[in-house]
Structure 1
Amino acid sequence: MDIKGKLIIIGGAVDKGSFTEGHFDQDVTKNLNFFETGILRRLIEESKHNNESRIEILTTASKIPKEVGAEYVKALAHLGAKNVGVFDITKREQAADPEIIKRLEVADVIMVTGGDQLRLTSILGGTLFQDLLLKKYQTEEFIYAGTSAGAAAASNNMIYQGSSGEALLKGEVKITGGMGLIGGVIIDTHFVQRGRIGRLFQSVVSNPRILGIGLGEDTGLLITNNVTMEAIGSGLVILVDGREIKDTNLTQIELGKPISINHLVTHVLSKFDTYDLTTHKMHIHTSQYADDLGVPTDD
């Protein structure tokens, strides 16, 4: 199936300006440079009607939904978005509410906030809301944007538990079904800051066909047609490719024992770098070898 929608997955701690700081200055120019170059600006630019797009904030994963929703509304307003609402869905029956479904039908973007991805999937999984969300993503010029829990839950399979320190002990990483927008990948967030590389290693060695995606904070991927991934934001994206694994002890050891892996391939992307999910080829935007390859430089 040709996917018409776009997916923006973010590693958490999105820079929304300085709205969470104690001394927020009303003069936008004195705040962080997010307004010109950041992820939310890119989200608006990629949307169907730009500043006129209908954007809905989904706070289901959060324990403080009202506060989180208000932050995003404020940030998007400063960026010029004129049509923003908040879905307050805390129970499964609300995911079939006719008014909420009608709002989703006309939405151009849904921004899924952080929190607990298991809370997100357990409330929305198998509901009319999820069915419509998937349909819109597959058939319309619609953007699903998710940060932290909202990003981790975007794929068919998601990590929902596992400490960083013990992530390479067999059985320590817990995986369940996600929201189902994209297959063939598994996503982890707050990746660099919380040292979660081991969580992706175990996820990938258990099924090397799946590409592991580790998203740093205030960093994300713009995925178009479920094929082309472009790094956006200020930090790093780590890709873990298990297709060339030569050996492991995974099935020979007991639960709780360390996992060995031979020849696990990793890639590191920064802003504007791209990766093709069909060819598994990475392109570095400012490659130092561009001239040697006969590719024009950016200068």
Structure 2
Amino acid sequence: MKIQGKLIIIGGAVDKGSFTETDLDRNAAKNLNFFETGILKRILDESKHKLESRIEVITTASKIPKEIGPEYVKALSYLGANNVDVLNIERREEAMDPEIVARLKAADVVMFTGGDQLRLTSILGGTPFHDLLLEKYHNEDFIYAGTSAGAAAASNNMIYQGSSSEALLKGEVKITSGLGLIDGVIIDTHFVQRGRIGRLFQSVVGNPKVLGIGLGEDTGLLITDGKQMEAIGSGLVILVDGREIKDTNLTQIELGQPISISHLVTHVMSKHDTFSLDTFKMTIQSSQYV
């Protein structure tokens, strides 16, 4: 069945403007220049009621929710969206509270902040909140937007641990189940800035059917119909396609030893490029060959 909702996954460090600085008002014009073309503006443009959309900022992943939540509210208000609240769920019991579930039911957009993706899955997984989240995404004109941890947790398979420098040593990358909004992919964040290409390589070589998605900071993917992906934001999206892998030593080596992989296909996307999860074909928006 066709998925009605939209998924917006972001690599972290979304440029919301310098809202923690004391000279905010003096720099408002500079900040708004980002908003005109940036990811938060795109989220509003894609939402059901645009500036009137009901938005819940969910800070569950963060250890500093009282600082993070208001920053998003302020950023969205500068764009003209004022129907925004912070929903901080810190315990599983809260994810079962009928009042909190009712707030999700009324939302047009949820914005999951960064932090620890294991907090998201361990607190929300299997609760009425999680069940409703999936139902709304599949059946309504609804947006799940997640940055950093909120992006990593969106898929069925989720990276939750792994050193960047040691990532191509067998067993170094830890994977568990995510929130399950999208299947057939695995997502890593802060990708370019923290040198996480090896983490994605190891994740894909273990099951080449899964497409690896590496999101740079202030960069994301807008996914519609569960399969059409468009790059948004200012940086790069790296895709790792393992379906054509010809050889690897993965099952022949001990834990902690380096992994060899032959013929791993990668794609690099920038703003407005598209990729189909149906055909595995990428389209470069500004191709030099058109």
What is the TM-score normalised by the length of structure 1? Answer: 0.95
Q: Is the 8 A contact 1:208 1:245 kept in 2?
A: yes
Matched, 1:268 2:264: no
Letter in 2 for 1:276: S
Partner of 2:166: 166
SS of equivalent to 2:232: strand
Report the alpha carbon displacement of residue 2 of structure 1 after superposing the two structures with TM. 1.1
Matched pairs, number: 290
Q: Is the 8 A contact 1:220 1:231 kept in 2?
A: yes
Partner of 1:228: 228
Q: Is the 8 A contact 2:159 2:175 kept in 1?
A: yes
SS of equivalent to 1:184: strand
Partner of 2:87: 87
Q: Is the 8 A contact 1:60 1:119 kept in 2?
A: yes
Q: Is the 8 A contact 1:17 1:33 kept in 2?
A: no
CA distance in 1, matches of 2:236, 2:109: 24
Report the alpha carbon displacement of residue 24 of structure 1 after superposing the two structures with TM. 2.6
Partner of 2:123: 123
Q: Is the 8 A contact 1:3 1:226 kept in 2?
A: yes
Partner of 1:195: 195
Q: Deviations over 1:21-42 (max 9, x none)?
A: 4543345213362110000000
Counterparts of residues 1-299 of structure 1 (less than 5 Å): 1-21=1-21, 23-31=23-31, 33-290=33-290
Q: Is the 8 A contact 1:136 1:142 kept in 2?
A: yes
Unaligned runs of 5+ in 1: 291-299
SS of equivalent to 2:285: coil
Q: Is the 8 A contact 2:3 2:137 kept in 1?
A: yes
Letter in 1 for 2:36: E
Q: Is the 8 A contact 2:16 2:31 kept in 1?
A: no
CA distance in 1, matches of 2:221, 2:192: 15
Worse-superposed segment, 151-160 or 23-32? 23-32
SS of equivalent to 1:213: strand
Partner of 1:296: none
SS of equivalent to 1:145: strand
CA distance in 2, matches of 1:72, 1:161: 26
CA distance in 2, matches of 1:51, 1:212: 33
Q: Is the 8 A contact 2:112 2:145 kept in 1?
A: yes
Q: CA RMSD in A?
A: 0.9
SS of equivalent to 1:43: helix
Q: Is the 8 A contact 1:115 1:149 kept in 2?
A: yes
Letter in 1 for 2:187: I
What is the TM-score normalised by the length of structure 2? Answer: 0.98
Unaligned runs of 5+ in 2: none
CA distance in 1, matches of 2:9, 2:217: 11
Report the alpha carbon displacement of residue 179 of structure 1 after superposing the two structures with TM. 0.4
